[in-house]
Amino acid sequence: MLSSQKLVNKAPKVDVLSEDDRKEIYSAALEILQRTGVRFGHEEALSILSEAGATVDGNVVFIPQNLVEEGLNKAPATVTIYDRLGNTAMRLGGRRNYFGTGPDAPKVLTLDGDHRKIRREDVEKVATVVDGLDNLDFVMSLGLIRDEPFEVTDLYQFQEMLFNTTKPVVFTSQDKRGNKDIFEMAEIAVGGRKELRQRPFLIHYVEPTAPLDHPKEAIEKLIYQAEERMPVIYTPASSAGATGPMSFAGIIALSVAESLSGITLAQIINPGTPVITGGAVSLLDMNNSSFLYGAPETSLMHVALSEMSQFLDLPMYGTAGCSDSKVPDNQAALEATFSIATQSLSGANLIHDVGCLASGMTASLEQIVMSNEIIGMVKRIMRGVKTSELEGVSDLIDKVGPQGNFLSQKDTVDKFKKEIWQPELIDRKNFDEWKDSGAKTMEDRVNELAREVLQTHEPQRLDEDKREEIEHLIDHERNNRQVDY
């Protein structure tokens, strides 16, 4: 008899690299670090790496294999993130999937169809919608606000997320000072420095510049996170054919090298610093010079990066739920579905960019809502089939017997809602029922649900005194802060 282990695939997954492939890519990344080197535009970082055993020539650092592997041995394989209330929200690592929005789109497509620059109110709406949707696990601003002074836009973006959701927040900052200000805002929210360090609910997103360049601003933020031993995403964003090789294996090796150089620095500064690696790679379309988010090759590269993260035993920052379409239409649904499914099957952990349209240039609440439904479907698939549920099935089948039915059985009633995923948006009526209820399209239902969440969902608010203290901090920075880049 076949064992039950061979009858079902309990944990669905996809692999595109063999074990030998992973070893070859890792070896290629190590060769890049030792032979080509990486640029660090930061004197302190150059000194730290030199003292640790790297070779420094001007501002280019050549990192030996032993130094990289020392860093890998010290970097945590699992990073636990909490919500604002102190509850465990995400355990990044292994093959666990969590989904959230993306950062930094310059424009928004509103629910009324307007296409305009991002405002503070848009980030507030993003946070509120994410807070009200069950299948989204964390929030990013999804946009760069343009109706406040540039020097403090990062603080306002964080404020709107902090005030309008209890879910974990992934943030960006203008510079080190913004980094410190945002930490102070978070400390106010949770009751102090100790409380924030013990149960961090925020992750800083920091990005080197491809290829092989760590600018001063990025390294300052990375060093700050390491000194505070707080979670940081340090992930490359190469584009095949532009800032990385068109060879997919080549761009993955380059991305791994860029990640490893940042991880090495962080672990030298403070061993055990929680770093999430991965990548937000894309593809340059030579036909029109656009960067492709929805292309199958983009998903393929992200699957390979996920496998490399698992090979290195590091948490993975993935990408899904986005599209090259300009509106949340059939193309957007198709591309979002494909990316969400492949990233889930690859075992990526912190999966961002839900809600991005137009190759990351447009934020869309409707795309968030539609992707939430897709994520729900995929999460059901990822639960797989459990052979443990065979217990008692033989007795049930024997009880019903040939030509019987299971409709009236208590087991059917007990397990229906548990086993059968229940959609919010997908229509399962017959044609006449659908027509009689208004013949609404998916686009209609998505828009309605987005409006409903905004109108009816009430996030758990911060205490008024904490809100006032945070607003006072931002007002002070608005009058005194300068950003030098």
| Residues 268, 71: Cα–Cα separation, whole Å | 7
Q: What is the pLDDT of residues 43-82, one digit of tens each?
A: 999 999 999 999 999 999 999 999 999 999 999 999 999 9
Is the pLDDT at 299 greater than 90, yes or no? Answer: yes
Q: What is the DSSP letter of 420?
A: S
Residues of the chain with pLDDT > 90, as a percent, come to 85
Tell me if 389 is assigned to some domain.
Answer: no
Predicted pLDDT at 279? 79
Q: What kind and span of H or E run contains 81? A: strand 79-82
Rounded to an integer, the average pLDDT of 218-229 is: 97
Higher pLDDT, 203 or 484: 203
Tell me if 455 is assigned to some domain.
Answer: yes
Tell me if 390 is assigned to some domain.
Answer: no
Q: What is the pLDDT of residues 443-465, one digit of tens each?
A: 999 999 999 999 999 999 999 99
Predicted pLDDT at 484? 65
* 317: β partners: 278, 350
Tell me if 391 is assigned to some domain.
Answer: no
Give the domain range for residue 116.
1-384+396-485
Residues of the chain with pLDDT > 70, as a percent, come to 98
**CA distance to 240, 247, 385, per residue, from 250 (Å):** 9, 5, 37
Backbone angles phi, psi at 232, to 5 degrees: -140, 135
Tell me if 467 is assigned to some domain.
Answer: yes
| Residues 249, 302: Cα–Cα separation, whole Å | 11
Q: Tell me, what CATH number does 282's domain have? A: 3.20.20.480
Domain count, the chain: 1
Tell me if 407 is assigned to some domain.
Answer: yes
**CA distance to 37, 192, 373, 377, 381, per residue, from 421 (Å):** 50, 41, 11, 7, 10
Q: What is the pLDDT of residues 79-120, one digit of tens each?
A: 999 999 999 999 999 999 999 999 999 999 999 999 999 999
Predicted pLDDT at 7? 40
Is the pLDDT at 400 greater than 80, yes or no? Answer: yes
| Residues 95, 432: Cα–Cα separation, whole Å | 43
Predicted pLDDT at 410? 87
